[in-house]
Structure 1
Amino acid sequence: MTTSRTSGYRLSGARVLITGAGSGIGRRMALEAAQRGAEVVVWDLDDAAARGTVAAVTAQGGTARCLAVDVTDRQQVTRAAAETGPVDVVINNAGVVTGARLLDASEDSIQRTMDVNVMALFWVTRAFLAGMITRGRGAVVTVASAAGWTGVARQTDYSASKWAAVGFTESLRHELRADGHPINTLVVCPYYIDTGMFAGVQTRYPRLLPILKPDEVARQVIVALEAGRQQLVIPPLVRWVPVLRVLPVGVFDRVLDALGVNQTMDHFTGRAGDLAAGGQPPAKGGSTSTRESGLTG
């Protein structure tokens, strides 16, 4: 086995592809990357939103272009990748949330969650990874979630998808190491972010588990990318959740309950903007949203 060595990725002059960058932290990461001299390529299902990000980047003097892409469609991804050309960094950011109990969520919404949050990671990364390997340098970033560290009530499909996103990134890291390719991977696991994706969520101890500010999360992701980090978990308390798994399940559950983790979704009202866009009201407190977005949490 050959172990590769990876280092930070200087963004000045790099081409950075960000999926779901039409809004949320995707747009903010585009702005952060552009400020560091990167050429940004925005992929988003919403063409108008993607163009809005390009306008925001160019307004601050950066360089950006966009394509309307459904990252769950393999043929669209293949065509868009050919049009985009080689990229140095892929940031898999597109994500959706249903926020319903397992029996309340529709089959279509569950399938969409898994397609956007999991399968798109494979299609988008595969489209650009070979080029990175040929050039001998690159980075793959996956925006997962704190839900990728522990399951959360009323997020069965979302939590499962984010566990898969963490597993995807860690397995890819080992694969690249084993084959001796100096391509860095970074998995990002933030707690809830104040982008409207989880409208109404509440946190019991805001100093320990605060609702995160999107600008700060985006900044930390780009800083971690340039530093060559392989894992970013915010806030720091979330990092200790896997350690607590050594406790008996009943004790672990009581710790989560004491922190109010399973109660955060009690007042979830659905992602902001979905109902105005013609979506259906939440079923028993769960959103039926399935529109792809740059938001995550």
Structure 2
Amino acid sequence: MAEGTGLSGATLLVTGGGSGLGRRLALGAAQRGSRVVIWDLDAVRAEGVRDEILAAGGDAEALAVDVTDRDAVNAAAASTGHVDVLVNNAGVVSGNHLLEADDAAIERTLKVNVLALYWVTRAFLAGMAGRGRGTVVTIASAAGLVGVARQTDYSASKFAAFGFNESLRAELRANRHEVNTLVVCPYYIDTGMFEGVRTRWPLLLPILREEDVATKVLDAIESGRQQLVLPPMVKLLPALRVLPVGAFDWLMDIFGVNRTMDHFTGRAGDRAAKE
């Protein structure tokens, strides 16, 4: 296993860094002594986080980047230079049943949550491998461990993100590259992305605080962890698949997993909202 990456003196890039968990990761990394690069589709938000870091005496830069555009990613990567920690955080959700989902929203979810992983990681991975150090972080989701109703496109994209990380880790090991990978699978985080989401008895899982998740992710980067599931009991959900399908569905209903999105009112992403 590759070693963790110390954040003091390192360059950390976070996609979707202008708000939510990405903003918290940027601010937290800066407090630990990192030079922080914020990529976000919205230039104003990215620059706002940069200015927060600079005002606190940190080192940061901001770039407006559409991570689904391969050419834009490569141009931004050339401008950014070397990166020690890459956090693939950008993500969107539509929150609609499959028959009700807008075609453009489905395509957007898959492009941001899956395709962008390839473009952004490819832009920096060779440099990390050549220097013999670095960490690639993939923010997946608990929805990448078990499918959830009203999240067909989102769950599929996060299953793909989990698989991307797992395959990348295997590839790095096979080629003996000293680059660590970390996949993060949190339950719902109170970022505004999942507004209206509720839990119900007997699941009793709280909506996670973004600052708590950011702290745990940064700790995991420094310690060299390769998987972070929050809260830890969520790891048990995929194990239910060893049961017959009927029993699996029954337990999922008891746990309330498929009812958490019943009152979802969150946003589908910045571009979809503007259009």
User: How high is the TM-score relative to the length of structure 1?
Assistant: 0.89
Unaligned runs of 5+ in 2: none
Could you give the per-residue CA deviations for residues 175-215 of structure 1, whole angstroms, max 9, x where no partner exists?
A: 00011011000000000001110110100148741100000
- In structure 1, the partner of 2:55 is 59
From 65, 68, 77, give the equivalent of 1:69: 65
Does 2:24 align with 1:50?
A: no
Could you tell me which residue of structure 2 aligns to residue 144 of structure 1? 140
Between the aligned partners of 1:41 and 1:74, the Cα distance in structure 2 is: 18
Partner of 1:173: 169
Query: 1:250 and 2:229 equivalent?
Result: no
Alignment correspondent of 2:158? 162
How big is the shift at 1:131? 0.3
SS in 1 for 2:61: strand
Separation (CA, whole Å) in 1 of partners of 2:238 and 2:202: 21
Query: Which residue among 121, 124, 128 is the counterpart of 1:125?
Result: 121
Q: Which residue of 2 aligns with 1:27?
A: 23
On the 8 A contact 1:209/1:237 being kept in 2, the answer is no
Residue aligning to 1:291 = 270
Note the residue ranges of structure 1 that are not aligned, 5 or more in a row: 272-288
CA distance in 2, matches of 1:250, 1:177: 38
Query: Does residue 1:194 correspond to 2:173, yes or no?
Result: no
User: Counterparts of 1:205-224 in structure 2 under 5 Å?
Assistant: 205=201, 208-224=204-220
- Paired residue secondary structure (2:195): coil
Identity %: 65
**Contact 2:203–2:256, Cα closer than 8 Å, also in 1:** no
Q: Which has the higher contact order (CA 8 A, sep 6+)?
A: 1
Q: Within 5 A, what are the aligned runs for 1:226-245?
A: 226-245=222-241
Rounded Cα–Cα distance in structure 2 between residues aligned with 1:290 and 1:103: 19
Alpha-carbon distance in structure 1 between the residues aligned to 2:16 and 2:231: 23
- Hey, what's the Cα distance between the residues in 2 that align with 1:30 and 1:223? 13
Offset at 1:60?
Answer: 2.2
Alignment of 1:257-272 (within 5 A): 257-271=253-267
**RMSD of aligned Cα (Å):** 1.3
Counterpart-to-counterpart distance in 2, 1:158 and 1:76: 24
Structure 1 residue 236: deviation in Å?
1.3
Change (3 A) 1:35 1:206: farther
In the alignment, the residues of structure 2 paired with residue 168 and residue 161 of structure 1 have an alpha-carbon distance, to the nearest angstrom, of 10
Structure 1 window deviating more from structure 2 (228-237 vs 243-252): it is 243-252
Q: Determine the C-alpha separation between the residues in 1 that align with 2:9 and 2:39.
A: 19
What is the distance in 2 between the residues matched to 1:290 and 1:208? 28
Q: Which amino acid aligns with 1:249?
A: V
Q: How has the CA–CA distance of structure 1 residues 86 and 113 changed in structure 2, closer, same or farther, with 3 Å as cutoff?
A: same
Higher mean displacement: 233-242 or 156-165? 233-242
Kept after mapping to 1: 8 A contact 2:202/2:256: no
> As a proportion of its length, which structure holds more helix?
2
